[in-house]
Structure 1
Amino acid sequence: MCHLLLVQLPGNKMHSCIPLELTNQIPHVIGGLFRLQRLDLSHNKLGGPIQTGIGDCSVLQILILSNNSLSGRIPLEMGKLSSLSFLELKYNLVNGTIPSQLNSIETLQYLDVSHNHLSGTISDFLNAEAFIGNKGLCSKLSGLPPCRIDTPSSYDSKKKTRNVSIGLVIKVFLPIVVLLVILLIGIIYLFTRNKDDSEQAKEATKSLDIFFVWNFNGKTAFEELVEATEDFDIKYCIGTGSYGSVYKAELASGKIIALKKLHSSEELFFIKSFQNKACVLSNIWHQNIVKLYGFCLHKKCMFMIYECMDRGSLLCVLRNDDEANVAHALSCLHHNRTPPIVHRNISSNNVLFRIELEAFVADFGVARLLTPDSSNLTMLAGTYEYLAP
């Protein structure tokens, strides 16, 4: 078989097998016929792809495979048939494009691939009749449909431009979208947290009811204090500051006290800060420090209960020996407490006098009890320890 020069089997009805156990496809052993010059298998029932081994028939000059049911693409290996002068593949089911390798065969004089399913462009030097019946083929040749303006190169250029545009959009807008999403999540988180804090504060103030912490001559009810000041009537007000007003009240027992009513707030941190502050200050005792008897937390108001100083503040009555008493009181806060306490709000208005005109230091640490919306801002819950300058 290797010395076979000519195979010509046209006009048969081969569809299952032929001698040498050939099937309904072109046998792959064709590639071993190195001296084969002419192969004609036209007008048969051959199907399947064209064997790539045909490209090994280096001296093949004539190849006729027309009027069969061959499918698939034209093998690129056929470009190696340097002696091929006649190629006929008409009336088959071949698809794909015509390999450009066929254009490099200088000896090729005749090519007919009409009535197949080929697509793409074809060379101008070939005959148009050899390509008719292929809906996907186009050419400048007369009788064939013209090719579209969008050549493969221009299509690739447009595709590349589109990819660049998509990449640019992703680089520019994706970070913006991510930033907006993060910002939205942050806003939702802050809104939810503030809402929860507000709800907790409301629940905390509601749970306070009318009870308070105070032990002086027994437990005094909230109603008695309100009644003593006629619901904090202005005629009982003896002083006003940035953090609240001070009222003078006489209890049923005849005891006179001072009520420092703080500006109300539903902020949870303010309520906790107030409790911590009052608990610390109520445990401090010194002969020149105004005694804090206790405090009251109520959903309507909150106030601190002090010993009443009849003679007012240092601003009203100022004497030399009072300065020494004030200094002794501050020294006690700074050096005789563990941990030390700094006053933070010492002024002439916060030095009070008894009827004997003996000076007492008052209102230390309370200045830190404010909400963030106030003009005086603090976030502390309790009196600061003393810090050196």
Structure 2
Amino acid sequence: SIPLDWGNLKSLQQLDLSNNQILGPIPSTLGNLTNLKMLNLSKNQISGPIPSTLGKLTNIKQLDLSFNQITGAIPPTLGSLTNLKFLYFTSNQISGFIPSELQNMKSLVKLYLNENMLEGPIPYEIGNMKNLVALDLSKNRLNELSLSNNQIIGSIPFEVLVCPFHILDLSHNFIEGEIPHQFGIMVNISILDLSHNKLKGMIPKSLRPKEKVNLSYNFLEGPIPHYLSGFPPDPFRGNKHLCGKISGFFLCPSTPSNRVIISRIVIPIVGFLALLSMGFLLYLRCRVENNTFKSNVTKNGDLFSILNFDGRIAFQDIINATEDFDNRYWIGTGGYGSVYRAQLPSGKIVAVKKLHHREA
């Protein structure tokens, strides 16, 4: 344990006993070390309460009692430590309320009270600590946070959302950005006041305070969720682009149902595919007919060459093939003329009838 007579070391400025196995309580006599600037008793097995006499260490800048077994409440006398910059009470068994006197620590930069058994509301006076840049109150039993009427800027930090608050008041600040959808994890929230800020975007569906909500005078837009329609209109005033089934607000433009949306998408696609299919079938039909026509032409090419092309050329082919209708190519005689055998240049053999002169 820490000897009691160490309180007589009046000129001592730094006392670091961290990472030992010190047992027992913190001697109240340490409050006599008025020149002390740093006291570090962290990571020991110190038990018992925090002596109120530590409030006399007016020159101290760092006080670290973290990772011990300290019990009891935080003494309000610590509010007298106006030169204190770093206060670490992490991971103890400290209970009770956070004293509002801590607001008098004007020089405080970091305040770590996490992993204790603190309960009740978080004093709104903490918002008056102008130099405070780090505040950790996680893993306690705190149920109320009021930081209204400060000059808080930036977005709503996620760390606030993981605390089991029943009451959260961040009104009359300069908070901006969207309302986090993670508000859904705050299942214990009963009263929520985010009014008079610069919040924008839509109200998340996960936002479900049990008793009271105030989102007025922000820049919110879109529909007011139906489960909030039971609230009066005042908590939503001052947001020009909100709509919903609440008195004083325009009804939201009707949105088509999913079935209508699907039909508007599917019908044009089906129509396009139908036209495409018809066009493809017509193309195939034309192609088949064209191939049939070409086949017939190929099959009867000599006949068409005789009938369709220059008659003189066709006649000359016949004259050459029959050697001017020589009797050697004669086949027979009909009622209107003689029939001759002719082999065309293509190799095909045909019968050619030469009319009698009297029938010409």
TM-score when scaled to structure 1? Answer: 0.44
| Larger RCO, structures 1/2 (Cα 8 Å, 6+ apart) | 1
TM-score when scaled to structure 2? Answer: 0.47
